[in-house]
Structure 1
Amino acid sequence: MIKRTSLVVAAIAAGMLFAPQAISAAEIKIASFPGPKHPVNARMLSSWVDKVNATSSGLTAKLFVAGKLGKGPAKQFKRALDGVADVSFGLQGYTSKQFRATTLIELANVMSSAQDGTNRLNAAFEQSAAVRKEYDKVKVLAIWTIDTPIIMTKNKPIKSVADLKGLKLRTPSQMSARAIKALGAVPVPMPITKLYNALARGTVDGVLVSPTVLHTFKIKEVTRYFADGIPFGSSPMFVVMNKKTWNKLSPAHKDIVNKTVGKRWGNVGGKIYDTEHAKGMAFLAGSKSHNLIRLPDAEVRKASGLLNQLEKRVVQQWEKQGIPATEILKIMRAAGA
């Protein structure tokens, strides 16, 4: 009897040893790829770090910017997935195959601004199992969209769809690459961190991108012409936490995290990008060194027609692969109605 009791005690002790234990003190390491002055770092992630640290609960957070936990934005999701970082900030478009449902937000005529896109994206996350499944190996802290992009070129002004033919344009994702190709240009996939040198050296002729990069990545120095008016969708973004990190947090620490993240925090990201969009467009409108071009209505309609045809092809292809694209787009479009 004594021997049997000892075995039971030993088994329980072993179970306690190998089971995930909630920890009373923890530091969350956050990986971010841009520099410290980038709006997401300066006004979103830093603010969250301050909120967490101000709780004096034993839970602390530390932000590592400029790729200090790993260079290159393309592997940001993987860094959280693998535990290189506890939390990471990045763009789904850099690993588009992993986020086919999410990146439907990048199709034309789905969103009108960063805040609008953020609301539509979060509605899809809440209502579509296919969207949520893309994040089932991490804890989602926030998702949002960037503001709508414009076409920036170095040497050639874009005044019509025909002007795009053959131009090499940097794109951030497979969906935006398909959009650029549908309009006659040649997409060149490239992380934003390599764009400045690519434009300076003539590796690319231009870029489809948010006006926020004019200052944050100094793209104003290597571009001259800016075409606005085509109703492109925009890039989604994420802040996610490693699942093991989440599971090890104490109930009190989980409560702190849950109260400071989610849809409301994602809306902060959307507001930041809309604010920076307005600043960027105002800069272009007032600059003597840059030429802001509003495409004529007829050209906008022509571009919209081509992008609508692209949507039909994407939906058909996604549906064949088991992704309910029609349903997801319906949710996204209804969310802003």
Structure 2
Amino acid sequence: MTDIATGWRRLATRMAAGVAGLVVAAGMAGQAAAAEVTLRLHHFFPPTSAVHSKYFTDWKQRVESQSGGRIEVKIYPAMQLGGTPPSLFDQARTGQADIIWTVVGYTPDRFPEAEVFDLPFLPRSAEITSQAAHEFAMKHLTSRFEGVKVIAAHTHSPGLIHTRDREVRTPEDMKGLKLRGPSRLINSFIEALGAEPVGMPVPQTAEALSRGVIDGTVLPMEGLDALRLQELVHRHMVFAGENALYTTMMLVAMNQAKYDGLPADLKKVIDDNAGIAEARAIGRVMDQADAPVVASIEKSTTNRIIALTPEETDRFRAVGAEVEKAWAERMTARGIDGPALIEEAKALVAKYAARP
């Protein structure tokens, strides 16, 4: 009987532990169910990308913590909610997604003022230029962003030319190349340099390279890692000087009706995690993500960084100046003061470059 009693006691202990576990699990489920609002954040980069893993996951944790668990953020990378990257802005505007991250230039003519940040040799680091882009956007683009609340307008880290195997040191070296470009203005720059631009959202780049549709791409270094492109492009052109070859404006935005429907205290949580500080934070994450990619390329036996001299860079700058002039004229024809926007964007970049 003693052995049986002991067995019963052991069984009762295991059952009690199991019940306790069920109570804990139920409590945790209750906590999860306590969220009053669920925000679906949809974007086009893979979950391994720096912006997803280092910025959006942090943003999610901050919002959930500061709301006391009343807001739950669910992140859907790599277009998991459907559609294409150019459709993301409208997904936020119509409420198909609650929050999106996209490239503004994926929809040409819709945000013409934003193209100023696509101009050649305008940007510095992503951290610097993102702050300039956000201030600029909140002054000039709010009417075009109708239907969404801007979390942050920003830019990516310095864009470079990457080719499968061709070393590019002069505009003449660009001739015959087919290069993927992200926006109309950057594509016009690629064309002015003598290459053939192929417009496509960045997630399609790997397949296009693998199939021989393109010979290379323009992209920041961190994008190479996010998309696993180091095995497909082996020459990486870096230009001299403080200003990068190009960047492009990007946007994190929330459905306006979803925001308007929040109680005041939860609106404050969103507000506290939106604005120029967020633009700077995204830019910093993208800048920091460049460094390990550069280190990996420098150690590689198949990949090479091609550092252009100031004299070689000046020839690309001259082409960029013509692209800038043509853009200003096109904006003027539309009733937009292109030259003033250029000067303002450059002044904003200089302003934030001078800050610690």
- The answer to whether TM tops 0.5 is yes
Which SS does the other structure have where 1:292 is aligned? strand
Aligned mates of 2:59, 2:219 — CA distance in 1: 27
* Cα distance, 1:45 vs structure 2: 1.3
Q: Which residue number corresponds to residue 85 of structure 1?
A: 97
Q: 1:305 and 1:199 mapped to 2: Cα distance?
A: 29
Give the equivalent residue in structure 1 for 2:323. Answer: 310
Letter in 2 for 1:164: M
Residue from 315, 332, 336 that aligns with 2:345: 332
1: CA distance, partners of 2:307 / 2:46: 31
For residues 71 and 279 of structure 2, the distance between their equivalents in structure 1, rounded to whole angstroms, comes to: 22
Hey, what does 1:12 align to over in structure 2?
A: none
CA offsets 1:60-98 (integer angstroms, 9 cap, x no match): 221122212114322111110111001111111211321
Q: Which residue of 2 aligns with 1:19?
A: none
Partners in 1 of 2:160 and 2:229 — Cα distance?
Answer: 13
Q: RMSD over aligned Cα, in angstroms?
A: 1.6
Give 1:1-337 correspondences, 5 Å limit.
25-54=36-65, 55-56=67-68, 58-126=70-138, 128=139, 130-229=140-239, 231-335=244-348, 336-337=350-351
Q: What amino acid is the match of 2:54?
A: R
The alpha carbon displacement at 1:235 in A equals 1.6
Structure 2: where are the runs of 5+ without partners?
1-34, 352-356
Alpha-carbon distance in structure 2 between the residues aligned to 1:285 and 1:179: 28
Unaligned runs of 5+ in 1: 1-23
4+ long deviations beyond 3 Å: none
Q: Give CA-to-partner distance per residue, 1:258-304, whole Å, 9 cap, x none.
A: 01111111111100111112222222222211021112322211110
| C-alpha distance in 2 between matches for 1:92 and 1:195 | 18
Amino acid at match of 1:26: V
One-letter amino acid of the counterpart of residue 89, structure 1: W
SS at match of 1:202: coil
Deviations 1:141-175 (A, max 9, x none): 11111011111111322122210012110001111
Q: Deviations over 1:77-126 (max 9, x none)?
A: 11101110011111112113212111211102321111121122123124
Q: What is the SS of the residue equivalent to 1:60? A: strand
Q: Which amino acid aligns with 1:58?
A: R
Q: 1:170–1:190: 8 Å Cα contact kept in structure 2?
A: yes
Q: What TM-score do you get using the length of structure 2 for normalisation?
A: 0.84
Q: CA offset at residue 321 of structure 1?
A: 0.6
Task: Give the whole-Å Cα distance in 2 for the aligned partners of 1:271 and 1:163.
Answer: 32
CA distance in 1, matches of 2:221, 2:69: 40
- Amino acid paired to 2:89: F
- SS in structure 1 of the partner of residue 176 of structure 2: coil
Q: How many residues align?
A: 312
* Cα shift at 1:57: 5.5
Q: Secondary structure at the match of 1:66?
A: coil
| TM-score, normalised via structure 1 length | 0.88
Whether contact under 8 Å (1:111, 1:117) holds in the other structure is yes
Deviates more, 1:277-286 or 1:211-220: 277-286
Q: Distance in 2 between matches of 1:229 and 1:246?
A: 42
The alignment partner of 1:96 has SS state of coil
Write the letter of the residue equivalent to 2:245.
F
How many Å separate the matches in 2 of 1:226 and 1:247?
A: 46
- The CA distance in 2 between the partners of 1:233 and 1:213, in whole Å, is 14
Structure 1, 170-179 or 28-37: larger mean CA deviation? 28-37
> In 1, are the aligned partners of 2:49 and 2:225 still within 8 Å (CA)?
no
Which has the greater radius of gyration? 2
1:307 is paired with a residue whose SS is helix
